[in-house]
């Protein structure tokens, strides 16, 4: 039996620019993150959300009950590089609005895709321990950013993403993978160094962007509804592949940048330029 073709995308606008004021850009560079209201409207999120969530559930390989999983595996179901399967996820990941925001916040001439990641926190799903994403990435600089796009509103009981403001410059914790240890040690370090945590709910259409070294976490989903989120990780168009410093970075090189060479721009078929300034 042949699989039914994916529905064609309605004429939704996910490409036009989103206005960023100098104050917003300055806040992002000061705090290491920013939350932006009304990036997408209800209809866009409903259409893409239904298909992204359905594909996430279909491709997920985690079948153990929550109580049998580790802290990390209880945090969410995750599927990466949904864009490779085509359809709505590809359209969404290749949307120019998010990519342009990423480039303007970073102050780069353009951004490439590192990879996408769907994060589905089930009802009863546990905390996302404190961590910094760039621990996993073999990149030559920290000019990277993740767009965290909730596909519904995220009230506090569903576990909104929370950020330690200004922590992108902190050193302690950069050697820790996401784990119970990272939750304990990074949380203590952030509190000791006075980095305030920003953990407000997300309104429908609100999107956050955070730097690779910005420490962040999320609470458990104590509601009876899943928290469905799509993320897109962008990197400077001209970033180069760095020598991996841990096994996770080695694995990321092989999976998300296959064929890239040490010291060279990460220009592979899996890392297309998604937005750049007109010359």
Confidence of residue 6 (pLDDT cuts 50, 70, 90): low
Cα angle vertex 187, ends 239, 162, to 5°?
Answer: 65
* DSSP string for 3-30: PPPPPPPPS---SS-----HHHHHHHHH
Q: How far apart are CA 220 and CA 156, in angstroms?
A: 9
Residue 51 has pLDDT above 90, yes or no: yes
- Whether 195 is in a domain gets the answer yes
Among candidate residues 131, 211, 219, 218, the one with its CA nearest the CA of residue 176: 131
Confidence of residue 279 (pLDDT cuts 50, 70, 90): low
Phi, psi of 87 (to 5 degrees): 65, -150
SS3 133: helix
Query: How much is the pLDDT for 45?
Result: 96
Q: How far apart are CA 123 and CA 125, in angstroms?
A: 5
Cα–Cα distances (Å) from 140 to 100, 111, 236, 245, 277, in that order, read 21, 14, 10, 11, 22
Q: CATH number for the domain including 77?
A: 2.60.120.620
- Whether 36 is in a domain gets the answer yes
- Whether 4 is in a domain gets the answer no
Query: How much is the pLDDT for 7?
Result: 67
Among candidate residues 34, 11, 13, 7, the one with its CA nearest the CA of residue 22: 34
Q: Is the entire prediction scored with pTM above 0.85?
A: yes
Q: Which two tokens stand for residue 242?
A: 């760095």
Q: How far apart are CA 273 and CA 118, in angstroms?
A: 20
**Number of structural domains in the chain:** 1
At 137-152, the pLDDT tens digits run: 999 999 999 999 999 9
Q: How far apart are CA 147 and CA 129, in angstroms?
A: 18
Query: How much is the pLDDT for 70?
Result: 75
Query: How much is the pLDDT for 5?
Result: 59
Q: Which two tokens stand for residue 61?
A: 């390989």
- Whether 245 is in a domain gets the answer yes
Q: How far apart are CA 141 and CA 145, in angstroms?
A: 12
Residue 1 has pLDDT above 60, yes or no: no
| 164 and 196 Cβ atoms separated by less than 8 Å | yes
* Owner of token pair 């609470």: 219
Q: What percent of the chain clears pLDDT 70, i.e. is strictly above it?
A: 96
Residue 105 has pLDDT above 60, yes or no: yes
Answer positive or negative: Cα dihedral of 265, 87, 16, 45. negative
- Whether 202 is in a domain gets the answer yes
At 53-83, the pLDDT tens digits run: 999 999 988 888 788 787 776 777 899 999 9
- Whether 167 is in a domain gets the answer yes
Confidence of residue 2 (pLDDT cuts 50, 70, 90): very low
Query: How much is the pLDDT for 17?
Result: 97
Residue 4 has pLDDT above 70, yes or no: no
Three-state secondary structure of 66-87: HHHCCHHHHHCEEEECHHHHCH
| 79 and 52 Cβ atoms separated by less than 8 Å | no
At 162-181, the pLDDT tens digits run: 999 999 999 999 999 999 99
Q: What is the DSSP letter of 140?
A: S
At 206-245, the pLDDT tens digits run: 999 999 999 999 999 999 999 999 999 999 999 999 999 9
Q: How far apart are CA 213 and CA 171, in angstroms?
A: 9
- Whether 3 is in a domain gets the answer no
Q: How far apart are CA 218 and CA 209, in angstroms?
A: 15
- Whether 11 is in a domain gets the answer no
Full residue range of the structural domain in which residue 50 is found: 22-276
């Amino acid at each position: 039996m042949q699989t039914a073709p994916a529905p064609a995308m309605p004429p939704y606008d996910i490409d036009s620019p989103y206005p960023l004021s100098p104050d917003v850009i300055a806040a992002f560079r000061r705090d290491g993150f920013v939350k932006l209201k009304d990036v997408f409207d209800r209809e866009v999120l409903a259409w893409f959300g239904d298909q992204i969530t359905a594909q996430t559930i279909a491709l997920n390989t985690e079948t153990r009950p929550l109580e049998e999983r580790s802290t990390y595996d209880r945090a969410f179901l995750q599927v990466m590089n949904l864009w490779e399967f085509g359809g709505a996820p590809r359209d969404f990941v290749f949307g120019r609005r998010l990519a342009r925001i990423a480039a303007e916040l970073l102050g780069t001439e353009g951004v490439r895709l590192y990879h996408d990641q769907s994060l589905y926190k089930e009802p009863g799903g546990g905390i996302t321990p404190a961590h910094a994403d760039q621990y996993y990435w073999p990149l030559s600089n920290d000019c990277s950013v993740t767009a965290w796009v909730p596909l519904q509103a995220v009230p506090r009981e569903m576990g909104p993403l929370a950020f330690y403001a200004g922590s992108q410059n902190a050193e302690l914790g950069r050697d820790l993978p996401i784990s119970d240890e990272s939750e304990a040690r990074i949380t203590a370090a952030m509190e000791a160094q006075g980095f305030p945590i920003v953990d407000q709910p997300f309104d429908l259409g609100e999107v956050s962007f955070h730097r690779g070294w910005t420490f962040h976490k999320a609470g458990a989903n104590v509601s009876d509804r899943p928290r469905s989120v799509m993320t897109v990780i962008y990197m400077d168009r001209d970033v180069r592949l760095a020598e991996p410093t841990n096994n996770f970075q080695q694995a990321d090189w092989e999976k998300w940048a296959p064929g890239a060479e040490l010291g060279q721009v990460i220009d592979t078929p899996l890392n297309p330029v998604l937005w750049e300034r007109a010359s």
